[in-house]
Chains A and B, each alone.
Chain A
Amino acid sequence: MSQPHDQFLADATNATADAPQRDFLRKALGGYYNSRDTQKARYRDWEHARDAAALAKWNAVNRLDRTLTTFAANFERNGGKVHWARDGAEARAIISQICREAGAKAVIKSKCMTTEEIHLNDALEAEGYGVVESDLGEFIQQLRKEPPFHFVFPCMHLKREAISDLFTKHLGTAATDSPEELTMIARRHLRQLYVDADVGISGANFLVAETGQVSITENEGNARLTCALPRVHIALAGIEKVIDKLDDLAVLLPMLATAGAGQPMTCYNTLYAGPRQPGEPDGPTEFHVVLLDNKRTALLADPEQRDALHCIRCGACLNVCPIFKNIGGFAYGTTYQGPIGSVLTPHLRGLKSWNHLSGASSLCGACTEACPVRIDLHHHLLHNRRNAALAHASWFDRIFHGAFGWVIARPRLFALGGRIFRQTLPLLRRLPLPYLTTWLRTRDLPEPPVRSFRDEWKGSKR
């Protein structure tokens, strides 16, 4: 068994044993379900809208070479600079160099999961830059030296008391049990940091090919400030974020908000085309976009699962997933949690070590139903299982499934096997068999029927 697999089992077991924490998560998500349903009901047709969103992403991803080069040309025409990074190391080097050339001291960041994916903060801090996360949830997680718990709601696992204690410890503020007062503490603390930062680093929700704009969605206004006040703006984006047309956003922006947070629109949806232009009173003088591959092209090469690149990171699949609700975000051990994370991570980090996430699913399909761009998430988990079995089957899988396949292809042998199985099932329960004991720890074995289905069938025909 691989190390991530062992870690997953241990962490998931601990998390599921914590019943009060699970209740807390469910309660926190309760409001989301209500507002999401209210907003969805306002659509003239949510299902048709999902089709439109899926088609917009399909068109862009399936002509990715053209959409990306169009974006890059238009972004540079607007006065920005495009950088290409094959992997995380290249992206980190590019961003470090921009910071160095800008003579930066302080870097302010708005929320960007892609920077988590490439561990950018560690790299920048190692070079001596002060890096501050400005999204409230990310700011809290940075103080706790913890990764985000949920890629849209980074600290949803924390109670207000824990946040109050954290602020007392790091910022010296008085204890409070008011979420509003806690938010204001962060607001006061961060304001001066935006004004003083030399470089602002953001992510990108969409890259618009036809106009060369970077689209950023947020509720707090921290990304707006990050992209307004520092001299240099760097946006890090996965290559799959590109869409063809500005008009595609007319559908994608409202749907991202509704699916992700039950809002009609996220508070700030901002399109950036290049640095400050002549006649504009403020804004950065340099605007860089770093386009990151980091194995996305390997996923692109799999037509069966290519649509996983359509993901707009709304987080809807996490919010409805029975596994996420029980094991929480940390047990995954991944940058992207929940169903989409279980689909993507084996592609990004290797199927051999991460295939166990394909089993972190009840295959109920709630994720697929929730996805605003219709990614076939739960079937992709099955595809990953199949691909893993083809590539790296364990000796147990090979012998067991080989024997099973051989037996069921022979009806008489299958009937005999069934009879033996029905007789010996009570006995199996007591034997210390390795896989079975683990399986039965949290499950009940049904009572075997007295007669097989075939016997019943024959009987009923008579």
Chain B
Amino acid sequence: MSSAREDILGRIREALRLPAPKPHLKAGSDKPGRAWLPEAGETQVDRLGVLAENLTKLRAQLVRVPDLAAAKAALTELARSKGWKRLAYHAHPDTAACTDGLPCEVWSVDQNFDKHHLESCDVGLTSCEAIVAQTGSILVSSATNGGRALSILPHVHVVIGRADQVVGDLTDAFALMRSRHGDRLPSMLSFITGPSRTGDIERILVLGAHGPKELVLILVG
């Protein structure tokens, strides 16, 4: 008996012997698809504008600060006003610079960590790989932004990003990932577009279905 793999591939090759007509395209459709997507902004200033508008619509919070010292002050203020008790973070120059002296317990997930302990944290603090203006998405990876669970399990996700990490569209973000990681892409790349949400009950929007209820982007520079 041949293997399922060989059987399925055999059926596919047999099926494809009859060609299907190519889709009938509108005149001009042969450009790469990104040309038709929503505006992403021509200049970096435009892109920051598009990003800010998208984040507002997505109900994510954007805090723009000039430098890391101001980022730390913003984070401290958030921790105090929201009454955070425990914040989890991963080692990164930007995140480490902000965690000293926070008015809450801080805990790092860099070694093999206990997921039950992470579950008890209010906040996950991460850096990011890139920020996509067109869609308002923050790209995090398992390799450089604290693994898989840190950005999804705690109730609040705070991202420290840099203004020069803002790119136009997803194509730009993919190109950046290839140039940064080469052939060995991180085992997880996640585009986070606003806080977790659901519309499953009567199609009414509720934030914080299973992932973070709040998403804060502290943008430095």
**A-to-B contact residues, CB < 8 Å:** 28-29, 31-32, 42-49, 51-56, 58, 62-65, 68-69, 78, 84-86, 90, 134-137, 140, 153-156, 158-160, 163, 179-180, 182-184, 186-187, 190-192, 194-195, 211, 213, 219-222, 224-225, 227-229, 239, 246-251, 253-254, 261, 263-277, 279-283, 287, 291, 293, 297-298, 300-301, 303-304, 306-307, 374
Contacts and interface: CB of A to CB of B under 8 A. Distances in A.
Given A224-B190, A254-B135, A211 B185 contact: yes
A222 B198 CA distance: 11
Contact of B8 (A78, A194, A239): A239
26 contacts: A28-B203, A43-B36, A46-B36, A52-B32, A55-B22, A86-B7, A194-B153, A219-B196, A221-B211, A225-B149, A229-B149, A253-B170, A264-B38, A265-B136, A267-B193, A269-B190, A270-B190, A271-B185, A281-B109, A281-B110, A281-B112, A282-B109, A297-B15, A300-B11, A303-B18, A374-B23
Contact of B187 (A51, A63, A69, A275): A275
A281 B170 contact: no
B115 A229 contact: yes
B42 to A, nearest CB: 13
Contacts of A277: 142-143, 184, 186-187
B64 interface: no
B116 A280 contact: no
A221 B36 contact: no
A374 B21 CA distance: 13
B19 to A, nearest CB: 6
B3 interface: yes
Given A225-B153, A281-B109, A281-B147, A306 B20 contact: yes
Contacts, number: 307
B200 A297 contact: no
Interface in B50-77: 54, 57-58
Closest 3 CB pairs of A and B: A221-B211, A52-B33, A251-B33
A155 B9 CA distance: 37
Given A29-B203, A250-B174, A221 B212 contact: yes
A369 to B, nearest CB: 14
B33 A49 contact: yes
B191 interface: yes
